[in-house]
Amino acid sequence: MDDTPAESLSDNRNAKTRQLLGMKGATTGDTSIWKIRLQLMKPITWIPLIWGVVCGAASSGEYTWTLENFLKSAACMLLSGPLLTGYTQTINEYYDRDIDAINEPYRPIPSGAISLPQVISQAWVLMLSGIGLAYILDVWVGHEFPTITAMTLFGVFIAYIYSAPPIKLKQNGWLGTYALGSSYIALPWCAGHALFGELDWKIVVMTVIYSFAGLGIAIVNDFKSIEGDTKLGLKSLPVMFGVKTAAWICVTMIDVFQIAIAAYLIFIHQQLYAAILLLMVIPQMVFQDMYFLRDPLGNDVKYQASAQPFLVLGMLVVGIAIGHANF
């Protein structure tokens, strides 16, 4: 039976929303330059980094609900999400335009919706705005050393070498995927922590280790690009090891390193939070078996929607636990 006009209209609206957010299963047709620029920035990818700032603020143990602190955290979320993640996605779209022409031809650059000079100018505006806002935050909180600015410059550098030749970290499955995973967890977490507390080596090491779970998350995103990565010689983990093995690597990284962080919480005498974190891992394992391990290519989006909320809630649990330990 053919779709009714109402169903067709709804499907078209949903597809356009998915494209605007940077999700798989999009459609073409937007002509607004601002919507096209937003598509380049993939807003759906901002969420983990914005959440990372929240976790970092919690782990500082010094966040209080005042208007000034709310504005500081909102500014840091703007920095980590729309500005720096938007910059990262924009330059990735620029350097991956040949791959996207194979995997996602509806994306703004391969579809011809935006010119390359416009893409380059957008990347520059986002990068410089991010660096400027980072410096403002350092001045605002009175840092003697511009910690947030330094992290921003480091993040910009990693984002560039991840996508751009000759280094192009994403050509190396392990290095590229970990660079992406650490950008999702370690950098925004440390920025949020430094905004309200003193950033020490223990927080840096903990978030770097936690980022191996982020490596698993990043692998999920590689499954949709297997065809283009294979044709253009990019060694993503699904290309290197095959779909099934890469799926097992993905779920193992996600589960094992969350369990390792739970062990750390026990070590710092936060047993209750460790137990809560472990309880968060159980439904992830269930959804991994139900969806991802059975069909990584067909169920990647469904898996992320069902399992990842438990992972990000677990991150907040860890942040609160560390903040409680430091209080």
From residue 321, alpha-carbon distances to 50, 197, 213, 260 in Å are: 19, 15, 18, 15
* 56 or 212, greater pLDDT: 56
pLDDT band with cut points at 50, 70 and 90 for residue 28: low
The structure tokens 């097992």 sit at 248
Report if residue 18 sits inside a domain: no
Angle between helices 201-222 and 46-60 (to 10 degrees): 160
What is residue 66's DSSP assignment? Answer: -
Instruction: Write out the residue range of the structural domain in which residue 116 sits.
Output: 31-326
Report if residue 210 sits inside a domain: yes
Report if residue 25 sits inside a domain: no
d(CA 323, CA 58): 6
DSSP 29-50: ----HHHHHHHHH-GGGHHHHH
What average pLDDT does the chain have? Answer: 87
Q: Where are the alpha helices (DSSP H) in 224-270?
A: 226-232, 237-241, 243-267
Q: What is the pLDDT of residue 130?
A: 97
The structure tokens 């416009």 sit at 118
Report if residue 20 sits inside a domain: no
pTM for this prediction: 0.85
Q: What is the pLDDT of residues 250-305, one digit of tens each?
A: 899 999 999 999 999 999 999 999 999 999 999 999 999 999 899 888 888 888 88
* Contact (CB, 8 A) for 210 and 196: no
Across the range 196-209, mean pLDDT stands at 92
What is residue 235's DSSP assignment? Answer: B
Report if residue 101 sits inside a domain: yes
d(CA 98, CA 101): 5
**The domain that contains 132 carries what CATH number?**
1.10.600
What is residue 109's DSSP assignment? Answer: T
Report if residue 126 sits inside a domain: yes
Domain total in the chain: 1
Report if residue 16 sits inside a domain: no
Report if residue 4 sits inside a domain: no
Tell me: pLDDT of 170 over 50. Answer: yes
Q: What is the pLDDT of residues 58-79, one digit of tens each?
A: 999 999 999 999 999 999 999 9
Which residues fall within 8 angstroms of residue 178, CB to CB, at 6 or more apart? 211, 212, 215, 218
